[in-house]
Structures are given as structure tokens and as C-alpha cells.
Amino acid sequence: MEAACTAAEVGCKVTLFEEKAELGGLARDIARLPDKTRINDFPDYLIQRTKQLTNLNIVTGTRADLAMIAALKPDIIVNATGAKPLLPPIAGLHEQLGKPGTKVFSIFDLLHNMEKFQEFEGKRIAVVGGGAVGLDVVEYYAERGAQEVSIIEMMPLLGKDLDMITRISMMKMVEEREVNVHTEKALTEVCSDRFKVKHGEQEFEIPFDFGFVCLGMRSYSPLMDSLLEYGKEHQVEVVNIGDSK
């Protein structure tokens, strides 16, 4: 939206494709967490901006393909398709995710089905990944009275990708809510009710009622190869921005 608005505001004729029925992307997803609803302010602001621009055409509920893009005869193509959860080939991970009755989830399993994650009292929660997303999940459960919340991170510290103010706030929450912090520990196997982790030569298990794998995000740009080829053939500039870069 920022790229589309900026281009339209300097006089370009712009078409914005969005696969989902609504605009907002990951910002809207993260804002579903009760402690993060304020994030909605930014996509709300951008959407209001789009409404002022008569030379900006927005097409929602449509997955763009090369034929659609080529039909517009563009001078510039901007790819901003975002990112997907990083799910490496760890033993048991892909077998447990999406399995009927599973207790293992990705961040989008939580964000897209918040109504299914309303049990807190007496629950043991284990989160793999000490970045922004993992800490958001920890905050969600720790602030709502889960019996025990644990976070597992391979690096020596949590929240290394956060700005300083947010990190200080999150570390205060972790301390006050007595979250079990397991840093410098690598996930080796995902089981139905526990994570197996390793620290040096020592291996141990962290049991859970709900386990969340939040190992960050990876860029997602499925059209880039074909867009670059099209751009080269037709002398069209192709730019990849944001998380998809």
C-alpha cells in the first residue's frame, strides 16, 4: 500500500493486486493478538490514503499472475508479496503441523483461528523461537494466566530483532510473568506433546499442552523469476520490496 500510494501521489497510474479479500497483510494478522491491536492504526491510515487517489485501482480477492500484469502494459512492476513462516526440516515438525488433533502450531494457526486458542488456566505452553513473533505468543499466554510458559531460543538472548524500547518491555514481561527461558538451545525434534532440545552434548525435553514453532519468516516471492524474465524481454523495471525481499 505504501508503494502504491506513493506512486499514485507522484502521478503514476497504479493497479494494486491483493490475494486476500482485505488489505493490510501481516500487520492485520499480528493485530489480531489482543496486545497488538494498536498495529491496526497503520493499515487503517494507508487504506484511508488509498481512498483519496483516483489514479489508484485496487483489485482484492485476486491472486495476480503474469498474464494479468502483462495486460496492464506496465512501466514498473513492484513485487511486495511478503513472507511465510520459516519451517525448517526438523524431525517431526511437518508431521505434527496440520495433523488432526495436533498440539503443535505455527503463528498463523494461532492468528487465523484465535477463537480456538482461548484456554489459558492450567495450560503449559512452549514456544520455539525468541524473536518478535515468538515473544508475541509468549505474551499472549503469559498475560492471560497460563500455568507455565516456556520459550526456546538458539541464540544467547531473546528479542535480538526488536527495537530497544520494545525489547525492554518484552523482557520485563518475561521476568514478571516468570517465563521459563531456554536460550542457546536448539530444537532437534518435535513430538506430539513435547519439544526435544539440545544444549552442547546435553539433550532434554520440554513438555506442553500447546507448542508453537515461531522460527521467523522467509521471503515469499513466487512470481519473481517470471517477472524478471518479462521485465528483461519488455524493458520493464521490476522491483522487489519489503519482506518478500
Question: Which amino acid belongs to residue 223?
Answer: L
List the beta bridge partners of residue 194: 207
> For residue 28, which of 82, 77, 104 has the smallest C-alpha distance?
82
Q: What is the pLDDT of residues 57-112, one digit of tens each?
A: 999 999 999 999 999 999 999 999 999 998 999 999 999 998 999 999 999 999 99
Domains, the chain: 2-83+219-244 (3.40.50.720), 85-217 (3.50.50.60)
Global pTM value: 0.88
Could you tell me the three cell numbers for 15? 493497479
Residue 98, pLDDT score: 86
Q: What is the pLDDT of residues 170-216, one digit of tens each?
A: 999 999 999 999 999 999 999 999 999 999 999 999 999 999 999 98
Burial 90-126 (b: 16+ CB within 10 A, else e): bebbeebbeeeeebbbbbebbbeeeeebeebeebbbb
